[in-house]
């Protein structure tokens, strides 16, 4: 009798006090999907970094990219234990692998990427949705993780802004489904995508590699005049996305004259950020409590001005 009385009361409480649900990851009233938390992977500092004491960094533009579409960011540090990464994986709603200059084979960035990638493959296969976004180095890292062998070729693409060459698959893709036709035309005709890479996955490599071909759908390509390479892809069966170019630079980075800052350039950035954050909203992972996530948020860290030494205006150093 008492149990019968209490049951609807408790349900009512759970409904009217949504903040309570954050303490219970399995609660059907969990509001985590409207409060996505995305991990951004850090990487080893380079010799150009102005902060000799720091061991790792995240360029602030990646944080702004994610925040601009309504997600909060937790920095994912390198050199954590597998258990620590696993706990984070089941708390985060997605992870972004940023661009940069470290090894995709032997760095702390490479190690953490592999752990998250393997966990994401396993989870997604079980219907536990977890998106991964790779930008530039992150794209190359995804290629290596999927192919399980080096697949990159050298291209002359270290400092050039290009229009995208869409494949026939782009129109029906998940990544571009919400892009207005006008913006698709702009992407195709205006130089809106900034390339800062010397390595690429050539179309030739892709076409001769079954692991890549069956896993990723190519949505756009580009060429350096000699080699046609993949600039945007999405996995067929997983929420895994890669861009070889830099959507986060258009609104947030100013150190190079060839970065695109037009209204269309900034719209492109926002549509991609919105797409990725929407993917993260589908993940039901959550932190144990709001307190637990607040302890880890990027808000706890300060940005450093780095625009005189690095191609990033601001950097989080750890």
Ligand X SMILES: *[C@@H]1O[C@H](CO)[C@@H](O)[C@H](O)[C@H]1NC(C)=O
- Return the active site residues: 136, 246
Q: Is there binding between residue 223 and ligand X (CB under 6 A)?
A: yes
Q: How many CB atoms lie within 10 A of CB 217?
A: 19
Closest CB 187 distance from ligand X, rounded Å: 11
Instruction: Find the part of the chain contacting ligand X (CB under 6 A) among 57-65, 221-229, 268-276, 282-290.
Output: 221-229
CA distance 95 to 280: 9
Residues 98-137 that bind ligand X (CB under 6 A): 108
Closest CB 281 distance from ligand X, rounded Å: 31
Instruction: Check: CB of residue 109 under 8 Å from CB of residue 100.
Output: yes
CA distance 96 to 139: 10
Closest CB 210 distance from ligand X, rounded Å: 21
CA distance 141 to 222: 19
Between residues 69 and 78, which has the closer beta carbon with respect to ligand X?
Answer: 78
Query: 74-93 mask for ligand X (x: CB under 6 A)?
Result: ----xx--------------
Q: Is there binding between residue 55 and ligand X (CB under 6 A)?
A: yes
Closest CB 79 distance from ligand X, rounded Å: 4
CA distance 134 to 166: 19
Nearest Cα residue to 251 out of 48, 66, 94: 66
Closest CB 165 distance from ligand X, rounded Å: 3
Instruction: Check: CB of residue 14 under 8 Å from CB of residue 6.
Output: no
Nearest Cα residue to 156 out of 208, 202, 191, 206: 202
Q: Is there binding between residue 155 and ligand X (CB under 6 A)?
A: no
Instruction: Find the part of the chain contacting ligand X (CB under 6 A) among 63-71, 156-164, 263-271, 298-306.
Output: 156-164
When binding is defined by CB under 6 A, the residue of 228, 264, 288, 304 that contacts ligand X is 228
Query: 236-275 mask for ligand X (x: CB under 6 A)?
Result: ----------------------------------------
When binding is defined by CB under 6 A, the residue of 21, 56, 135, 269 that contacts ligand X is 56
When binding is defined by CB under 6 A, the residue of 27, 156, 274, 278 that contacts ligand X is 156
CA distance 288 to 119: 19
| Strand ranges, E, within 70-192 | 72-76, 95-97, 132-135, 153-162, 165-166
Instruction: Check: CB of residue 253 under 8 Å from CB of residue 307.
Output: no
CA distance 113 to 281: 21
CA distance 218 to 231: 8
Between residues 230 and 280, which has the closer beta carbon with respect to ligand X?
Answer: 230
Instruction: Find the part of the chain contacting ligand X (CB under 6 A) among 2-10, 220-228, 237-245, 276-284.
Output: 220-228
Given the rule CB under 6 A, which residues bind ligand X?
55-56, 78-79, 108, 156, 160, 163, 165, 221-223, 228
């Amino acid at each position: 009798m008492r149990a019968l009385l209490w049951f609807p009361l408790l349900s009512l409480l759970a409904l009217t006090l949504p903040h309570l649900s954050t303490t219970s990851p399995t609660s059907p009233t969990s509001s985590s999907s409207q409060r996505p938390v995305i991990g951004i992977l850090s990487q080893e500092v380079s010799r150009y970094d102005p902060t000799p004491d720091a061991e790792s960094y995240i360029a602030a533009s990646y944080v702004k990219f994610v925040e601009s579409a309504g997600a909060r960011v937790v920095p994912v540090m390198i050199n954590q234990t597998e258990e620590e990464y696993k706990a984070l994986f089941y708390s985060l709603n997605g992870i972004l692998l940023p661009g940069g200059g470290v090894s995709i084979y032997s760095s702390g960035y490479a190690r953490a990427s592999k752990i998250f990638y393997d966990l994401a493959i396993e989870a997604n296969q079980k219907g536990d949705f977890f998106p991964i976004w790779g930008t530039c180095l992150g794209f190359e890292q995804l290629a290596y993780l999927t192919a399980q062998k080096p697949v990159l070729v050298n291209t002359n693409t270290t400092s050039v802004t290009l229009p995208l060459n869409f494949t026939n698959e782009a129109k029906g893709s998940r990544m571009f489904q919400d892009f207005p036709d006008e913006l698709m035309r702009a992407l195709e005709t205006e130089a809106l995508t900034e390339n800062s890479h010397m390595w690429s996955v050539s179309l030739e490599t892709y076409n001769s590699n079954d692991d890549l071909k069956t896993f990723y759908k190519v949505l756009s390509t580009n060429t350096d005049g000699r080699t046609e390479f993949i600039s945007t892809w999405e996995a067929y069966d997983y929420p895994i996305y890669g861009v070889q170019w830099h959507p986060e630079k258009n609104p947030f980075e100013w150190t190079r004259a060839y970065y695109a800052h037009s209204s269309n350039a900034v719209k492109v950035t926002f549509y991609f950020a919105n797409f990725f954050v929407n993917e993260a909203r589908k993940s039901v992972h959550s932190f144990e409590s709001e307190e637990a996530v607040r302890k880890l948020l990027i808000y706890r860290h300060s940005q450093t001005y780095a625009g005189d030494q690095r191609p990033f205006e601001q950097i989080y150093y750890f």
